[in-house]
Chain A
């Protein structure tokens, strides 16, 4: 139940960001700091989410099949594969590594 609440709050705030952009005076854009923080935060959050999903397990770190998925995704991205191919490469690698016994 409480997941529903936070989910709806997230939806409301996501729209709030978007609509605020259309109503703030244009001079806010002149402050390079604002857009720079939006940019660096996007990079930092995505980097953090990548790591959390790759090596974090509860309160600890774990080296498991997900590391293989990370490597496969990186290779696919270097080869300029489209998003969906990258995701499938990650899934297939993790599944394969588990099938051969590396959890």
Chain B
């Protein structure tokens, strides 16, 4: 197959498999958080953004209201808007491709695309990773949801511990440098301090506000925390420490200020 000769397609496929697989943990956690099978599937089919999906079920699992879950998921989705701007400038999609491409605009497809320099490769990378992750993520979400509903007491299996681990794993690759770590610590403390005073789910909003203020007043790199949580092209960055396994590595990113990639 000629397509497989394209590096962007090969990277896109391996990212799809690595990311799709952990859809199983989302599916299982979602149903043990109190969502039913179809609510779980609608999140993967329509919301389709890992961090936001985990946020939604994380708030529900903690006893937060639907509106708090929605708010957390929505605030986490803001970065996809930035990715959309970058990809629009990069790929210049037209017609229906814009609308379909938008739904596939996530960490993984953005990283696979922006890691390439040739425009045709950028396009192939985006669509391969976007479609591949979409299909596998939904398949494995369904699998996880079916398995999860047969588990009985989720605590006995440590599934609440799995949620903790999942959030830390989503956060980890974004903690590059002192400022992101400082923001993470301050927001964690703000959350703990707020817990006794406000209803469940609201402490997360307090942290979001603190983080937004930090972003407003900081003078750090413009794309801090916007490193997609994968690094499809391997960790060739000096000083980069989070390139595990196929799925959290460093995107080569153009650094000219205001370049819009």
- Is B123 among interface residues, defined by CB-CB distance under 8 A? no
Of chain A, the residue at the smallest CB distance from B40 is: A7
Of chain A, the residue at the smallest CB distance from B184 is: A47
| Contact across chains for A43 and B66 when beta carbons are under 8 A apart | no
Tell me if B's interface is mostly helix, strand, loop or mixed. Answer: helix
Surface stretch bound by A, among B3-11, B52-60, B113-121 = B52-60
A82 CB → nearest B CB, Å? 3
Chain B: residues with Cβ within 8 Å of the partner, total of 118
Write out the residue numbers on chain A whose beta carbons fall within 8 Å of the beta carbon of B160: 53, 65-66, 69, 94
Q: Select B81's contact among A3, A21, A76, beta carbons within 8 Å.
A: A21
Tell me if A's interface is mostly helix, strand, loop or mixed. Answer: helix
Q: Select B25's contact among A9, A74, A84, A94, beta carbons within 8 Å.
A: A84
Interface residues of A (CB under 8 A from B): 2-11, 13-15, 17-24, 26, 28-30, 32-56, 58-61, 65-66, 68-70, 72-74, 76-77, 80-96, 98
Some 21 contacts from A to B, beta carbons below 8 A apart, are: A10-B43, A10-B70, A14-B73, A15-B102, A19-B99, A21-B82, A24-B85, A29-B85, A38-B215, A39-B215, A41-B76, A42-B226, A48-B207, A49-B58, A49-B59, A53-B164, A60-B195, A77-B168, A83-B166, A95-B157, A98-B156
Interface residues of B (CB under 8 A from A): 18-19, 21-22, 24-25, 35, 39, 42-43, 46-49, 51-52, 54-56, 58-63, 65-67, 69-70, 72-89, 93, 98-99, 101-103, 105, 155-172, 174-175, 180, 183-188, 190-192, 195-196, 199-200, 203-204, 206-208, 210-212, 214-216, 218, 220-226, 242-248, 257-258, 260
Additional 13 contacts, C-beta under 8 A, given A45-B75, A45-B207: A18-B83, A19-B99, A23-B88, A36-B216, A37-B215, A39-B174, A44-B183, A49-B72, A53-B167, A69-B161, A83-B19, A86-B168, A91-B162
